[in-house]
Amino acid sequence: MCDHAFWQPLLDAPALGVSCLVVDYGDADTLTAMAQAVLAVAPPVFSLAGHSMGGRVALEVVRLAPERIERLILMDTGHLARVPGEKGETEKAGRMALLAIAEKDGVRAMAAEWVKGMVHPDRLGDAELIEAIVTMFERKTAARFARQQNALLSRPDGSPVLVGLKVPCMVLCGRQDAWANVEQHQAIQALAPHASLVVIEDAGHMVLMEKPEPTIQAIKEFMSK
């Protein structure tokens, strides 16, 4: 549900040294189809950054076309498939509850609920930040949200991709990301050969929108190595 607005601080950053393209997944309803959408518009060889669901898409891009990837940045994301049993059903129920809000009351109402756990608690009173996030979601439809939830519920295990990674990788997350915590990113780093881990202080899941300066600095340093 994120779009260029999430990446705008990076797009506006001076002297980044690279050209950036934000990919829209359209109506794709699997991570594989989303990865194919990336590959269809990307240069022959490119660096790839993915945030949240986009991190899982990035792993699928690497699985499909490892020879095209120069560097990989995984931000506030995960790598495991949905677990079977009660825990997996609890995750599904949570996602379906949000979808029910989007379908009944609109995407804006769903986003207003979703965002409560997705930024640093101290930023919940930041009207400008919260409005930017909610408005970004509002640009998408409940039908698209449903497709993305279906893609996430059927996500593959990205562990084999991480273990076989042949390119530099930076794993980055907000210290207070309640959805994809630091320990989850430490597990990703442990699987990927030569991966680095950066934790952005005083930030939640929407790290680039919450703390643009340190996040951009980390990306610049990684890209310059």
The string of DSSP letters for the chain reads ---HHHHHHHHT-TT--S---PPP-TT--SHHHHHHHHHHHS-SSEEEEEETHHHHHHHHHHHH-GGGEEEEEEES---SPPPSSHHHHHHHHHHHHHHHHHHHH-HHHHHHHHGGGTS-GGGTT-HHHHHHHHHHHHTS-HHHHHHHHHHHHTPPP-HHHHHT--S-EEEEEETT-SSS-HHHHHHHHHHSTT-EEEEETT--S-HHHHSHHHHHHHHHHHHH-
Percentage of the chain surpassing pLDDT 90?
95
Which of 149, 164, 182 represents a domain boundary (last residue)?
149
Residues 159-184, mean pLDDT to the nearest whole number:
97
The pLDDT assigned to 68 comes to 98
Q: Is 188 a residue whose pLDDT tops 80?
A: yes
CATH number at residue 12: 3.40.50.1820
Q: Is 14 a residue whose pLDDT tops 80?
A: no
Residue 13: pLDDT band by 50, 70, 90 thresholds?
A: confident
Which of 102, 132, 149 represents a domain boundary (last residue)?
149
Q: Is 130 a residue whose pLDDT tops 90?
A: yes
Domain membership of residue 186 as a residue range:
4-83+154-224
The pLDDT assigned to 1 comes to 95
Q: Is 221 a residue whose pLDDT tops 80?
A: yes
Q: Is 18 a residue whose pLDDT tops 90?
A: no
Q: Are residues 78 and 96 in the same domain?
A: no
Task: Give the mean pLDDT of the chain.
Answer: 96
Q: Are residues 21 and 63 in the same domain?
A: yes
Residues 40-66, mean pLDDT to the nearest whole number:
98
Q: Is 181 a residue whose pLDDT tops 80?
A: yes
Q: Are residues 75 and 135 in the same domain?
A: no
Count: domains in the chain: 2
Q: Are residues 158 and 68 in the same domain?
A: yes
Residue 225: pLDDT band by 50, 70, 90 thresholds?
A: confident
Q: Is 16 a residue whose pLDDT tops 90?
A: no
Q: Are residues 101 and 145 in the same domain?
A: yes
The pLDDT assigned to 31 comes to 98
The pLDDT assigned to 17 comes to 78
Q: Are residues 164 and 79 in the same domain?
A: yes
Q: Are residues 99 and 184 in the same domain?
A: no
Q: Is 95 a residue whose pLDDT tops 80?
A: yes
